[in-house]
């Protein structure tokens, strides 16, 4: 298994694992069985070719797609090989009051993140991106990512696949966060309670997954 795929699959080595990739408002699950009655179901071909074209066609018409495979790990890797894969890292930052740091990007709430630069490790990239995008210095709390999400996007033309490592972070800074306007970030806010709940209703499924992982870790 290549290092790229190992990032995602460390905790998913069993053949019955489910791999999830978000395509805009649609979600692809690669699994040994379909777990949702109202999902579109596809069977992975024995010769795993042209998966990309078939998957894109299906997710453009179905909100939830299950790709059923005898070996989900192998099918996931085969699909990834048909995409340009971009590696990124981000920070899930809380302060001493338990508030979550969120950014406003492309008219939706998000978490600070960005591409991993050549020669840079995921943890360092996440710390750097948080400071660049919010002017907040934060410390990573763990030696492994809190979560790794996968999503596909086509805002620059052809569909690309992004793998993002999310790192749990803490800061005691009292300074006001500032948005990196040149990156299209219009606002940075500390969120808690009702404000955080409202923001999560106006964000991406990947971000919801990450915040659920944070809450589970903290509880």
Q: Which residue has the higher pLDDT, 137 or 24?
A: 137
With beta carbons less than 8 A apart as the criterion, state whether 107 and 149 touch: no
Say how many domains are in the chain: 2
Interaxial angle between packed helices 205-218 and 193-200, expressed in degrees from 0 to 180 and rounded to the nearest 10 = 140
pLDDT at 130: 98
- pTM of the full structure: 0.88
As a whole number, mean pLDDT of residues 9-24 equals 64
| pLDDT tens digits, 118-149 | 999 999 999 999 999 999 999 999 999 999 99
Same domain, 76 and 161: no
Q: CA 148 to CA 166: how far, in whole Å?
A: 6
Same domain, 18 and 99: no
* Domain membership of residue 74 as a residue range: 3-81
Q: Residue 85 — φ and ψ, nearest 5°?
A: -105, 125
- Provide the strand spans (E) within the chain: 19-23, 26-31, 40-43, 64-68, 85-94, 100-105, 108-110, 113-115, 139-140, 147-153, 160-170, 185-191
With beta carbons less than 8 A apart as the criterion, state whether 165 and 148 touch: yes
| Domain limit, last residue, from 32, 55, 81 | 81
Q: Residue 108 belongs to a domain with what CATH number?
A: 3.90.79.10
């Amino acid at each position: 298994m290549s290092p790229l795929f190992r990032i995602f699959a460390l905790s998913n080595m069993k053949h019955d694992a489910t791999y999830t990739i978000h395509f805009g408002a649609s979600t692809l699950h690669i699994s040994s069985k379909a777990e949702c009655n109202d999902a579109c179901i596809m069977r992975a071909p024995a010769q795993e070719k042209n998966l990309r074209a078939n998957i894109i066609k299906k997710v453009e018409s179905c909100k939830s797609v299950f790709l059923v495979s005898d070996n989900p790990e192998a099918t996931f890797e085969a699909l990834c090989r048909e995409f340009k894969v971009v590696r990124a890292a981000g920070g899930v930052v809380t302060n001493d009051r338990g508030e979550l740091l969120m950014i406003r990007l492309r008219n939706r709430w998000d978490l600070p993140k960005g591409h991993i630069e050549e020669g840079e490790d995921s943890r360092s990239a996440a710390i750097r991106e948080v400071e660049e995008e919010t002017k907040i210095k934060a410390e990573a709390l763990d030696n492994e990512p809190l979560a790794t999400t996968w999503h596909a996007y086509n805002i620059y033309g052809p569909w690309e696949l992004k793998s993002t490592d999310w790192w749990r972070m803490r800061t005691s800074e009292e300074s006001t966060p500032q948005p990196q306007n040149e990156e299209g970030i219009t606002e940075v806010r500390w969120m808690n309670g009702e404000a955080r709940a409202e923001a999560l209703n106006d964000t991406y499924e990947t971000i919801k997954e990450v915040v659920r992982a944070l809450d589970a870790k903290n509880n």
